[in-house]
Chain A
Amino acid sequence: MLNSKIPAGQLDQKWNDYKGHVKLVNPANKRKIEVIIVGTGLAGASAAAALGELGYKVKTFCFQDSPRRAHSIAAQGGINAAKNYQNDGDSVFRLFYDTIKGGDYRAREANVHRLAEVSVNIIDQCVAQGVPFAREYGGLLSNRSFGGTQVQRTFYAAGQTGQQLLIGAYQSLERQISLGNVRQYSRHEMLEVVMVDGKARGIIARDLVTGKLERHFGHAVLLCTGGYGNVFYLSTNAMGCNVTAAWKAHKKGAYFGNPCFTQIHPTCIPVSGDYQSKLTLMSESLRNDGRIWVPKKKDDNRKATDIPEEERDYYLERRYPAFGNLVPRDVASRAAKERCDAGYGVGTSKQAVYLDYADAIDRYGKIECLKHGIENPSAEVVREHGVAVVKEKYGNLFDMYDKITGENPYEVPMRIYPAVHYTMGGLWVDYELMTSIPGLYCLGEANFSDHGANRLGASALMQGLADGYFVIPYTVGNYLADEIATKAIALDHPAFVAAEKEVSDRINTLMGIKGKQTVESFHKRLGKIMWDKCGMARNAQGLQEAITEIQQLKKEFWSDLKIPGEIGEMNPELDKANRVADFIELGELMCIDALNRNESCGGHFREESQTEEGEAKRDDANFSYVSAWEYKGEHSWELHKEELTFDVAKPTQRSYK
């Protein structure tokens, strides 16, 4: 049933061979072929620019007021590429290997190798577009390291790498708009896939300003709609991030891959109260120089700066001497939870650990003094120079922390705690990024493909741009080459009429409930169930309870929801209700998937499956597969397994000690 279409041949030759033999569409035909791209983040904007350049007729959609505001904009730390500019032993193979290992052997080798291969082209492309990456004094590009690796392969633009990459892709997209190759629909939300004869042929979108439903035809449809971390209510995602587009596709037949694989990021600003609407990430790059610790004494209420060195437990350095503070995210998050659960947490909530820059400031300060030939500098002079270096590297992150907490991180250590950040799961796609619906593709965070059970830092940006700039232009052509005879389908085709009716019926039902509880209150309750029972640690009993609670919540939602306003106008509460309705259904599937996967791997930690030291214990004999769930009707799914084979990177127990 599941055909991942991985090309035959040696791992490092597959992509080259594929490109050499793939079907092509000639330029005259490209002009007649229409492609719909939903989402204009890194994946969508890069795909739209690349396909527009090739001559396809492209339509792009996003729910924000401009494509430039997609959530990719918020990425801080950087983007990986196997350039080996630092001559520190990096290579395509090593990036491939780190990614497979980091993903705890739950990703496809062929996809990941391709990702590592094209990573180098991404950096070239972005620089050519004018992306202002950080540079050294010699004028060459600068790198830093990220978790789960021992080389410096991360390219960055201060703490705004996502912004700079997205602006690069956005500008290329705007250029294609000005050339007439792409048409952009902002403040539009896709609410249904239109299927004709078993193929995806268009979408129904709602104009969020007027509330009107629109029909759009495409020979192929690309979903580039980002991750679903907001199923937890609180996450580092932007407020509008949602699963709706992917979920609609799922209910029309696209399988959902590994839905329970969620990344909880170790360094986020802790929750401060019930009113909290989102959580803010403090970039992983901070772990390059910051040291993480808790007091050695339980319930230590002293100020951080009053706790002497020997009474601090640098628990990551203690437990993982080889990688120290740079262990992968899943490992760092669980270690923080372990300390806090054991009673060593800090801050008023006791649900936080320290991320301390005092040492880094001192170290950099001394180096600077040496550089400037300052003999026997006083502590103050050292500090002054150290602060300047830290400011240049991380200034905007420190400012952000200060604004949110009112504390100055140059003076006191930051308080951090893990938070939901990224979803490795997503629509199942084959090697060509096609879902199980012919003609429907999925790119970027929205698909399940490259990160297995845990994503390494700085590789989501890489994947989004790889998919959009360098993979889809080839693979979509392979499908469209057989579609050149297909005429544009008229918008009054029964399939469009029926799809639009489905959407309007649902909106009418939602608006007709006229109950008492707000959308926000339901979303919060869903988030709490998910975080408590399908969060950083999961067990069979909790997951079973969660499934029952979510089913109950769904009933309540559809009988007691209150949405103000009208359908035919700008109505943000209605937009949210549409999204939360889908999150509730997704939440149930995530718990079912987590329950099925009775092993621990990467970010998925089943308490039943751990080593004596409390590390995640994989069960390769029984779970070396991708879970691809087929929707069968309300509360009902069928599991399909895509077996994973590892010809090159042989699975071992992951160790960062």
Chain B
Amino acid sequence: MEHYNMNLTLKVWRQKNNKAKGGFETYKLSDISSEMSFLEMVDVLNEQLIREGQDPIAFDHDCREGICGTCSMYIDGKPHGPWHANTTCQLHMRAYKDGDTITIEPWRANAFPVIKDLMVDRTAFDRIIQAGGFISVNTGNAVDANAIPINKDDADASFAAAACIGCGACVAACKNSSAMLFVSAKVSHLALLPQGQPEHKGRALNMIAQMDKEGFGSCTNTGACEAVCPKEISLTNIGRLNNEFLVAGLTVDN
């Protein structure tokens, strides 16, 4: 891989807090190495801003290796930027060339209010999990782990759904701000396992009810979510969720 340096123009969404009106600010950056990560490029800008006596850009990040789901930048109109199956923190500057202009915004959705600049509040996701995204088993009650063999295909499919990192890119990409991909990933993870069976009806209903209550939109099957999901959570999960929901709606006695 050839290394090179570049000069860039950044247009960044700045918003002092939840109540303030936000707007774009333009910044110039020079000598950015192609080997830097995208967030290291933002670090460089922030150090520059602090030295100049300006407020640095607030953004969420933690693991910087694509697994915690904290980072969340809407880069040139795409959640997590140009690379496929990638998080913001894993994007590297070799994706750009000298002279490029990059626009950075926060996730935009009513259910994810902006806290400051590029940081949003995603606690709605926690509340959706509270509504049913678990298996009710108290500590100490478990049988031997190998007492329940699980067909490898089911286990693998469950794992693939459980790979969701709760980042919210699916919501940010959706024109309806629907959280269906996130919810369906959790419902599938649990529904595909025998341990998840006893609660499967209530789970889908309750999680969807909470999703609606949080102000996420409805799903119109455009598939924008799948295209940006860093963990390649598949749309088939939404199909599975719809089935679970339908069956549950028909059979739950209340």
Q: Give A residues with C-beta under 8 Å from B.
A: 46, 49-50, 53, 64-69, 71, 73-74, 83, 85, 121, 123-130, 132-141, 157-158, 160, 162-164, 167, 170-172, 174-175, 177-178, 184, 186, 209, 238-240, 272-273, 275-278, 280-281, 399-400, 403-407, 469-470, 473, 518, 520-521, 562, 564-565, 569-570, 572-573
Q: A71-B62, A136-B152, A403-B92 are contacts. A572–B56 as well, Cβ < 8 Å?
A: yes
Decide if the interface of chain B is mainly helix, strand, loop or mixed. loop
User: Which of B130-138, B172-180, B215-223, B237-245 contacts the other chain?
Assistant: B130-138
- Which listed residue, B62, B139, B150, touches A135 by the CB 8 Å rule? B150
Q: Which residues of A contact B8 (CB under 8 A)?
A: none
B121 at the interface (CB under 8 A from A): yes
B144 to A124, Cβ gap below 8 A?
yes
**Residue in B closest to A469 when the chains form the complex, CB atoms:** B139
Q: A162 CA to B163 CA in the complex, in Å?
A: 11
**Residue in B closest to A572 when the chains form the complex, CB atoms:** B58
Q: A64-B70, A163-B165 are contacts. A130–B189 as well, Cβ < 8 Å?
A: yes
20 contacts between A and B (CB under 8 A): A49-B139, A53-B138, A65-B121, A66-B166, A68-B69, A129-B135, A135-B156, A140-B149, A157-B159, A163-B165, A209-B115, A273-B36, A278-B65, A280-B64, A403-B92, A406-B1, A406-B92, A564-B50, A570-B58, A573-B50
Q: A90 CA to B105 CA in the complex, in Å?
A: 53
A128 to B142, Cβ gap below 8 A?
yes
Q: Which residues of B contact A473 (CB under 8 A)?
A: 139
B195 to A128, Cβ gap below 8 A?
yes
B146 to A273, Cβ gap below 8 A?
no
With an 8 Å Cβ cutoff, the count of chain B residues facing the other chain is 80
B62 to A239, Cβ gap below 8 A?
yes
**Residue in A closest to B196 when the chains form the complex, CB atoms:** A130
B62 to A238, Cβ gap below 8 A?
yes
User: Which of B37-45, B96-104, B246-254 contacts the other chain?
Assistant: B37-45
Q: Which residues of A contact B56 (CB under 8 A)?
A: 564, 572-573
The number of A-B residue pairs with CB atoms under 8 Å apart is: 218
- Which listed residue, B60, B67, B92, touches A404 by the CB 8 Å rule? B92
Output the least CB separation between B180 and chain A (Å). 19
- Which listed residue, B40, B116, B156, touches A276 by the CB 8 Å rule? B40
Q: Which residues of B contact A186 (CB under 8 A)?
A: 123, 126
B36 to A275, Cβ gap below 8 A?
yes
Output the least CB separation between A199 and chain B (Å). 27
A570 to B55, Cβ gap below 8 A?
no
Q: A452 CA to B83 CA in the complex, in Å?
A: 42
**Residue in A closest to B167 when the chains form the complex, CB atoms:** A69
Output the least CB separation between B83 and chain A (Å). 8
Q: A135-B155, A562-B50 are contacts. A73–B67 as well, Cβ < 8 Å?
A: yes
B130 to A175, Cβ gap below 8 A?
yes
Q: A107 CA to B145 CA in the complex, in Å?
A: 29
**Residue in B closest to A406 when the chains form the complex, CB atoms:** B1
